[in-house]
Chain A
Amino acid sequence: MAREYTGFWRVLNGPQEIGRGPVFWCLFAFVALGLLGYPFFGSVFALSNLANFCLYIPMGLGLALLWGYNGVLSFGQGAFFAIAGYVYGIIAGNLLDIPGGTLLAAVGGIAASAAIAAAFGYFVFYGQVSNWIIPLLLLVLSLILETFMAQTAGYQWRVGSVLLGGYNGMTNVPSLEIGSANFGGASIAFYYLVVALMLITYLGLRLLVNSHYGHVVVGIRDDVERTRMLGYNVALIQIQVFVVAAALAGLSGILYVSWGNYINPSSMGLLAATLPVIWTAVGGRSSLLAVLLSTVTLRWLADTLAVRGGEYAFLVMGILLLVTMLFFPAGIVVTLARRWLHQKSMYRDLKQNGAP
């Protein structure tokens, strides 16, 4: 018999996520402790690499929330990622001497992504368009933004003292600073910041999807009309979820710029727009945990393949996406987890009731 949890634990351990038993939480704590203890024996290079893989997790989880839990597919997460990165770069580059300037820039960057998402969401969600129109228009938005940023080379394209840099991108963007701590890409502080944000995002979203609000979000995915008839403001909730997903993509964008001190237009282009969709589809969009795992794994895989040339990495990603959609429509991690849970319950039935 399953143990009954109450209050906070009941919500955290709710039905909208696959890992729920004591075994899962032990493993979770083990991995979290391992991540926290890694700086004591890992090299600075390995730490910086791992931080680079993990900083994409908020973007991946945001898309899992939007697509897997709310049924709205987005090809615009790359655009929101890059908008936040660029706005952060512009504000931080102009506020170099002011203490807390980078923090203000981070808030500004996320706010810019969220604002554009809200404006876009107003049109599509209040228009009650069919679900295929939204990814299409977001793809167009990404393409237009990329073409625009790619032609901003030259001295006339600057905001304050920051050059936009055209196709070569914006360089020398200052890293995030909070008080006296500098979160540069190769620092242990940055690693801890990424790990903390990743855990907070995962647990926070887990609480969100299992709360009453989260059940309404899932209800919209399963049947828009029925949820509307039950008296919920579907368009408003969809806009809220869309804005949260865009803000999380923006958070990843700011972490990325702080890590590499650099951003260029290809990070908002066609290929960048596909990556979050691939992570979410391959892992399994109906589980935050699966998306978290696949984001890190596929980021690592792409990085390893990119040594041979970027086109190999994208070719393998495309094949992976097609194979997943054809043979594991629910996602590879989710399919395996479900199969395992199913076998476990069959085994338990067998032990309790004897052979059928």
Chain B
Amino acid sequence: MSLGYVVSLLYQYVDTIAFLLLAALGLMIILGVVNVINLAHGELIMMGAYITTLTYNRAHLPLPVCMVLSSIGVGLFGMLLERFVIRRFYDDKLGALVATWGVSLILSQGTLLVFGPSMQSVPLPAWTFSYGDYSFGGYRLVLFVIAIAAVLIAWWVFYYTRLGVRTRATMQNADMARALGVDTRHIYLLTFGAGSALAGLTGALYAPTTTIVPLMGSQFVDVAFITVVIGGGSNPIVGALTSAALLSLIATPLASTLGTFSGRIGLLITALVVIRFLPRGISGYFQDIRYRHMARVAS
């Protein structure tokens, strides 16, 4: 096994982690704080890709500007969605699931009606580098850096800002947080907007790498859902990191030796086995350990 092969495997591993993190982080933050699952997440990603493509091809703006615009646009749309749909389902997770499913159908079929079955895509920035016999696309490494940056920013907001303190208080005990003067509805609205903005960013970032079609969200959501199920909503950041690292460790060798389909099946089976033993996901398991430790210290 040459060093070049190892570097190539590492590159694929990093690529998969970036994909899983970007696809799932927004969904996971929404699950952790607002406690609903947004089944229209894939369609929000699709919207991000469409906004980037349209602004790039029609308005001829520079690509990074298009991406920021998509992120802001989808974030605002997410806040509207929270205000008019999600708010009615705070205490009914299955209801939220089904209602956002309706939203997802409306968005994907509406896009199909308005923009047609496909669209001219954005050219991939042509940065490449090579190592040994292998050559790699530099854009994938940029994606990885952005994914890690997104996690770091989320972590900073959660643990080092006043907003983060209020958000964590809302997660832990919403009634008590309200009693202490935290506007939990505001927190939910902002969190949903932030999660949606992350979805929009994901769509924008992956727009140059895939074909732009109305049903493109579905290639993100299957891995995003598995990542969320394994990570659990108890701590979105720890959950997203551990679950993405574990899943890409399983999916990368499977996909590179047996094909993408085996990779996906491997992920599904991993998810089933993990929840059989850790029903609340990895971050739920960590939380249980911490509570048990706290109980021991207290007694």
Contact = CB atoms under 8 A, between A and B. Distances in A.
A133 B94 contact: no
A137 B272 CA distance: 8
B229 A137 contact: yes
B98 A312 contact: no
B101 A321 contact: yes
Interface string A305-330: 00000011011011111100110010
A338 to B, nearest CB: 18
Contacts, number: 117
Interface in A222-249: none
Interface stretch (B69-77, B106-114, B162-170, B241-249): B106-114
A144 B85 contact: no
A300 interface: no
B261 A133 contact: no
| Number of chain A interface residues as a range | 35 or more
A143 B218 contact: yes
Contact of B106 (A71, A130, A141, A318): A318
B280 interface: yes
A143 B267 CA distance: 13
A294 to B, nearest CB: 14
Most buried by A among B102, B221, B222, B273: B102
A130 B94 contact: no
A123 B272 CA distance: 6
Contact of A73 (B89, B97, B280): B97
Contact of B105 (A127, A128, A129, A321): A321
Given A123-B273, A132-B37, A148-B261, A141 B101 contact: no
Given A140-B225, A140-B226, A319 B102 contact: yes
B271 interface: yes
A329 B265 CA distance: 35
Contacts of A343: none
Given A73-B98, A277-B101, A320-B102, 10 more contacts: A71-B94, A73-B97, A123-B273, A123-B275, A133-B229, A140-B268, A140-B271, A143-B218, A143-B222, A318-B102
Interface of A: 71, 73, 120, 123-124, 126-133, 135-137, 139-141, 143-144, 147-148, 151, 270-271, 274, 277, 281, 311-312, 314-315, 317-322, 325-326, 329
